[in-house]
Amino acid sequence: WQVWLMGSENDIGVCQLINHQCNGVCRELAGTTSLPQAIDLISCASLVVSNDSGLMHIAAALQKPLVAIYGSTDPGHTPPLSGNHLIARLDLECSPCFKRECPLEHLNCLRQLTADLVLAQAAKLVS
């Protein structure tokens, strides 16, 4: 399998961090693809893991197996519109707050959401 890290130029830093934590095995594509190119790449994917974003909704529209990660947003408000997805989120008292910056300055809705939780959801989709 291959892991493609996608996003805008604003996502380059976080993609580099993820790739570093994965020992450099990921393909960093943030800031290098146009929207049509990103759609083409997503259409080739056997599984998509995405935050609540435009690319997540594209993966859902393409009916790709999808793990949708929600932190400060609410899957009841902006759900992936597909029957082939699972949600990764924590049921915290402070979430959803719908803020880009954590008003409590801890960002626990994402910091405490572990890779193991996301991988467990992904395993359910591909098994």
The structure's pTM equals 0.92
Whole-number pLDDT of residue 92: 97
Average pLDDT over residues 75-82: 95
Domain residue ranges in the chain: 1-33, 48-126
Q: What percent of the chain has pLDDT over 90?
A: 98
Residues 15-62: tens digit of each pLDDT: 999 999 999 999 999 999 999 999 999 999 999 999 999 999 999 999
Beta pairing partners, 86: 67
pLDDT band at 83 (very low <50, low <70, confident <90, very high): very high
Find tokens 């880009």 and name the residue. 100
Rg value, the chain, Cα: 14
Whole-number pLDDT of residue 110: 95
Q: What is the mean pLDDT of the chain?
A: 96
